A and B are shown apart, each in its own frame.
Chain A
Amino acid sequence: MRIPCPYCGARDAHEFAYLGDATVTRPDPSAADAPAAFHDYVYLRDNPAGVHQELWYHANGCRRWVTVTRDTRTHAISSAVFTRSGS
Chain B
Amino acid sequence: MRYSFLSLLRNGLSGQSGWKPAWRDASPKPSYDVIIVGGGGHGLATAYYLASQHGIRNVAVIEKGYIGSGNAGRNTTIIRSNYLLPGNEPFYEFSMKLWEGLEQELNYNAMVSQRGILNLYHSDAQRDAYARRGNAMRLNGADSELLDTEGVRAMYPFLDFANARFPIRGGLLQRRAGTARHDAVVWGYARGADRLGVDIIQNCEVTGLIREGDVVTGVQTTCGEIRAGKVGLAVAGSSSKLAAMAGMRLPIESHVLQAFVSEGLKPLIDGVITFGAGHFYISQSDKGGLVFGGDIDGYNSYAQRGNLPVVEDVCEGGMALMPRIGRLRLLRMWGGIMDMSMDGSPIIDHAPLPGLYLNAGWCYGGFKATPASGWCFAHLLAKDEPHATGTAFRLDRFRTGHLIDEKGVGAQPNLH
Interface, chain A (partner B; CB < 8 A): 1, 12-14, 18-21, 36, 39-40, 42-49, 52, 54, 72-75
Contact = CB atoms under 8 A, between A and B. Distances in A.
B298 interface: yes
Given A44-B250, A54-B299, 8 more contacts: A20-B413, A42-B411, A43-B398, A47-B240, A47-B252, A47-B300, A73-B302, A73-B303
Contacts of B302: 49, 72-73
B399 interface: yes
Given A1-B307, A72-B302, A47 B254 contact: yes
Interface of B: 238, 240-241, 244, 249-254, 298-303, 307-309, 342, 398-399, 411-414
B77 to A, nearest CB: 26
Contact of B414 (A1, A18, A73): A18
Contacts of A44: 249-251
B7 to A, nearest CB: 44
B342 A42 contact: yes
> Which are the 10 A-B pairs with shortest beta-carbon distances?
A47-B240, A43-B251, A44-B249, A14-B309, A49-B302, A43-B398, A18-B299, A73-B302, A72-B302, A43-B342
24 contacts: A1-B307, A13-B299, A14-B309, A18-B299, A20-B253, A20-B300, A20-B414, A21-B253, A21-B300, A43-B342, A43-B398, A45-B250, A45-B253, A46-B249, A48-B240, A49-B240, A49-B302, A72-B254, A72-B300, A72-B301, A72-B302, A73-B302, A75-B301, A75-B303
Contacts of B252: 45, 47
Given A18-B298, A73-B302, A49 B254 contact: yes
Contacts of A40: 249
Nearest to A1: B307
A45 B413 CA distance: 11
B411 A13 contact: no
Given A52-B300, A72-B300, A47 B250 contact: yes
Q: How would you classify the secondary structure of chain A's contact residues: helix, strand, loop or mixed?
A: mixed
> Chain B: interface secondary structure?
mixed
Given A13-B309, A20-B412, A46 B303 contact: no
| Most chain A Cβ neighbours within 10 Å, of B240, B251, B300 | B300
A52 B398 CA distance: 24
A12 B308 CA distance: 10
Contacts of A18: 298-299, 414
Contacts of B250: 44-45, 47
Contact of B398 (A13, A39, A49): A39
Nearest to B339: A47
A74 B303 contact: yes
B398 to A, nearest CB: 4
Contacts of B253: 20-21, 45, 47
A48 B253 CA distance: 9
A73 B237 CA distance: 12
A1 B310 CA distance: 12
